[in-house]
Amino acid sequence: MTPMLTADEMLVRALVDQGIEHIFWHPGGANFPYHRALSNCEEIALVLVRHALGACHMADGYARATGCPGVVMLTSGSGATNSITGIANAYMDSVPIIVICGRDSTGHSVSTQLDETDMIGISRPVVKHSYVLPSAMDIPRIVREAVFVATSGRPGPVVIDVPRSAYESKDKYEYVMPETVSLRGYRPAESGHAGQIKKALDALLQSARPLIYAGGGVIQGKASSELLTFAERLNLPVATSLMGLGAIPGSNRLCLGMLGLHGSCIANNAIAHTDLVLALGTRFDERAINDPETFCPQARVIHVDIDPSSISKTITADLPIVGPVKEVLSILNQLACDKQELQSKRNDRYVSWWEQIEGWWHKLSGDEHDNRTESNSEHIHPQDVVQVLYEETQGEVFITTDVGQHQIFFAQGYKFSSSRRWVTPGGLGTMGFGLPAALGVQFAVPQGTVVCITGESSFLVNLQELSTCAQYDLPIKVFCFNNGTLGMVNQWNQIHGWENGLLGYPESMPDFVQLVEAFGHRALRASTRDELKQAVSLAFSQECKNQTVFVDVRVDPNVRLLPRQESGFSTSDSSSVGH
């Protein structure tokens, strides 16, 4: 017999049926009634946050770590509008979150109530799709569609606006969850074109200097193991985008590191010299390619992406393949298997190309990123922190970051053992993301170790969530690269000879240890390398296993981020080496 439920019960039931286990929630008049239905629900844990933006970033971190949708429930008006940055952030990085907002008016009419806002209109440019609930009866279908749309194809955020009238009514409705989703306007590609895929393999076999360029789509598309199998079978070097870090283990010999403005010289040299790029799930962001005219000048480009609008947007694809990266790589692996010459893993393919690549390694004598020699040895260098953390954790932890020098130093220096462990706001560059995202990841992986890498300025953007962290006893570890400056901005200012607009900033910084202690957490300060090592080993010790630990790491304020390919860098020739 179909159950008869009220609208709020329907919503909760539909979310349970779609496998939702957490809801990040900021209450208000327009969503409070759901609280009743939710508190009676054992399957869903309701997480009360301090800020709607925090809720979105938590859902975002949750989704990135698991691939499951992160769900947010907010009230109307300012409760809803505070989420826009979080939604935009998820949109830019293709993260499946579902934001359910209350709305004060009934039906579709816009009332003049104080906190009425057109959430659907305001969020339109930054959502994958949005719904105004037509009637309570539609709740199961819309929740099902929302989950499907958010998580399939190129994932992204979905907003559902629920009018107050829907839940205020005590009317009961038949709860019927449709068996399938039928959206005639939405059919994400399920497989790539077989002929094109075959051509891609032939091209790779004919190429002398091929290169895989892996983006965040490999991670979102759960294609890491297919990628590794394929790269190893053909002995292909792999460069990644910022979002693609972890697509292949950072310590694998095939991994050349990150491409682009702050990328590794090896990866940039490789892209300059390659004759064939196999781009997987990437949108060729400006920071990765700089100038489309001079990007991989000698190469043909094969571009595999689930989203046709990413293909030939900035870099024209000679061989476009629209489809899920996982599927396409599986077929490539199969085709390769069928070829006699590719039957075993071989390290001797593309020999002279690898010699060239290894030549760059030698020229750069090991770690090209190490520019610690130029800094004052008294201070802790940001790279010291990355190194100490890597030695302690071996790439096995979940890392969330904020935006700035600390983020890039980390991206350059840390070697991720696997995918879904690197949670960074790449597309929108949203300061304030790191802390709430870390909470979201910890909710998703209660047994995992979650580390937030932040800068003192980014940390101040959403520090209210330290209180959420206390409420739910989340043992995250925060490492604040405190350089007393907006490092990234300062660096740009210096390069362009702009005046320093940050006078008075360092003097106005709070005592972070006291600040974090006020929230009831453990806080440490590290001003020397020895203190840093002690703080790191304490943070990950058994003693602190169940504690939130914050480490205020005093890093050298005068450090520049290197290598930094000068603006207008053409990735051509070895000119990018040695910056």
Q: Which residues bind ligand TPP (CB under 6 A)?
A: 402-406, 429-432, 455-458, 481, 483, 485-489
* Contact mark string toward other proteins, 147..186, x via CB under 8 A: --x----x----------------------------xxxx
Residue 128 binds to other proteins (criterion: CB under 8 A): yes
**Cβ proximity to ligand TPP, 271 vs 463, nearer residue:** 463
Q: How far is the CB of 43 from other proteins (least distance, A)?
A: 28
Q: Pick the binder of other proteins from 182, 309, 352, 373 (CB under 8 A).
A: 309
Q: In whole angstroms, what is the distance from residue 67 CA to residue 351 CA?
A: 37
Number of residues that bind Mg ion (CB under 5 A): 5
* Residue 109, binding choice from ligand TPP, Mg ion, other proteins, none, Cβ under 5 to 8 Å by partner class: none
Of 119-127, 193-201, 233-241, 490-498, the segment contacting other proteins by CB under 8 A is 119-127
Find the radius of gyration of the CA atoms of the chain.
25
Q: In whole angstroms, what is the distance from residue 146 CA to residue 151 CA?
A: 8
Q: CB of 434 within 8 A of CB of 401? A: yes
* Contact mark string toward Mg ion, 453..482, x via CB under 5 A: --xxx-------------------------
* Residue 195, binding choice from other proteins, Mg ion, ligand TPP, none, Cβ under 5 to 8 Å by partner class: none
Q: How far is the CB of 114 from ligand TPP (least distance, A)?
A: 27
Q: How far is the CB of 201 from ligand TPP (least distance, A)?
A: 40
Q: How far is the CB of 128 from other proteins (least distance, A)?
A: 7
44, two tokens: 């869903």
Of 303-311, 356-364, 414-422, 428-436, the segment contacting other proteins by CB under 8 A is 303-311
Q: How far is the CB of 145 from other proteins (least distance, A)?
A: 8
Of 125-133, 388-396, 444-452, 551-559, the segment contacting other proteins by CB under 8 A is 125-133
Residue owning tokens 């449709």: 178
What phi and psi values does residue 28 have, to the nearest 5 degrees?
180, 175
Closest CA to 475 of 387, 551, 396, 544: 544
Number of residues that bind other proteins (CB under 8 A): 20
* Maximum Cα interatomic distance, the chain, rounded to a whole number of Å: 74
Q: How far is the CB of 480 from ligand TPP (least distance, A)?
A: 8
The single-letter code of the amino acid at 206 is: Q
* Residue 402, binding choice from Mg ion, ligand TPP, other proteins, none, Cβ under 5 to 8 Å by partner class: ligand TPP
Q: In whole angstroms, what is the distance from residue 10 CA to residue 383 CA?
A: 51
Q: In whole angstroms, what is the distance from residue 541 CA to residue 533 CA?
A: 12
**Cβ proximity to Mg ion, 28 vs 382, nearer residue:** 382
Residue owning tokens 């304490």: 538
Q: In whole angstroms, what is the distance from residue 479 CA to residue 380 CA?
A: 13
> DSSP readout, 40-64?
T-SS-EEEE-S-HHHHHHHHHHHHH
**Cβ proximity to other proteins, 149 vs 399, nearer residue:** 149
Residue owning tokens 């038949």: 174
**Cβ proximity to other proteins, 120 vs 539, nearer residue:** 120
Alpha helix ranges (H) inside 138-236 = 139-151, 164-168, 194-206, 216-220, 224-234
Q: Pick the binder of other proteins from 19, 39, 111, 124 (CB under 8 A).
A: 124
Chain positions 180 to 219 lying near other proteins, rule: CB under 8 A, are: 183-187
* Residue 381, binding choice from Mg ion, other proteins, ligand TPP, none, Cβ under 5 to 8 Å by partner class: none
Residue owning tokens 């998703």: 444
Q: How far is the CB of 434 from ligand TPP (least distance, A)?
A: 9
Classify 414 as helix, strand or coil: coil
Q: How far is the CB of 532 from Mg ion (least distance, A)?
A: 16
Q: How far is the CB of 125 from other proteins (least distance, A)?
A: 6
Q: CB of 491 within 8 A of CB of 567? A: no
Q: CB of 456 within 8 A of CB of 246? A: no
* Residue 185, binding choice from ligand TPP, Mg ion, other proteins, none, Cβ under 5 to 8 Å by partner class: other proteins
Classify 70 as helix, strand or coil: strand
Q: How far is the CB of 494 from ligand TPP (least distance, A)?
A: 13
The single-letter code of the amino acid at 204 is: L
Q: How far is the CB of 108 from other proteins (least distance, A)?
A: 6
Q: Pick the binder of other proteins from 19, 121, 520, 578 (CB under 8 A).
A: 121
Q: In whole angstroms, what is the distance from residue 65 CA to residue 420 CA?
A: 5
Q: In whole angstroms, what is the distance from residue 404 CA to residue 1 CA?
A: 56
Q: How far is the CB of 143 from other proteins (least distance, A)?
A: 15
* Contact mark string toward Mg ion, 476..515, x via CB under 5 A: -------x---x----------------------------
Q: CB of 579 within 8 A of CB of 564? A: yes
Q: In whole angstroms, what is the distance from residue 65 CA to residue 441 CA?
A: 6
Q: How many CB atoms lie within 10 A of CB 511?
A: 12
**Cβ proximity to ligand TPP, 383 vs 457, nearer residue:** 457
Q: CB of 9 within 8 A of CB of 139? A: no
Q: In whole angstroms, what is the distance from residue 257 CA to residue 250 CA?
A: 7
Residue 125 binds to other proteins (criterion: CB under 8 A): yes
**Cβ proximity to Mg ion, 186 vs 505, nearer residue:** 505
Q: In whole angstroms, what is the distance from residue 276 CA to residue 271 CA?
A: 9
Q: How many CB atoms lie within 10 A of CB 484?
A: 17
**Cβ proximity to ligand TPP, 12 vs 258, nearer residue:** 258
**Cβ proximity to ligand TPP, 3 vs 125, nearer residue:** 125
Classify 1 as helix, strand or coil: coil
Q: In whole angstroms, what is the distance from residue 427 CA to residue 285 CA?
A: 8
**Cβ proximity to other proteins, 325 vs 549, nearer residue:** 325
Q: Which residues bind other proteins (CB under 8 A)?
A: 108, 120-121, 124-125, 128-130, 132, 149, 154, 183-187, 307-309, 313
Q: Which residues bind Mg ion (CB under 5 A)?
A: 455-457, 483, 487
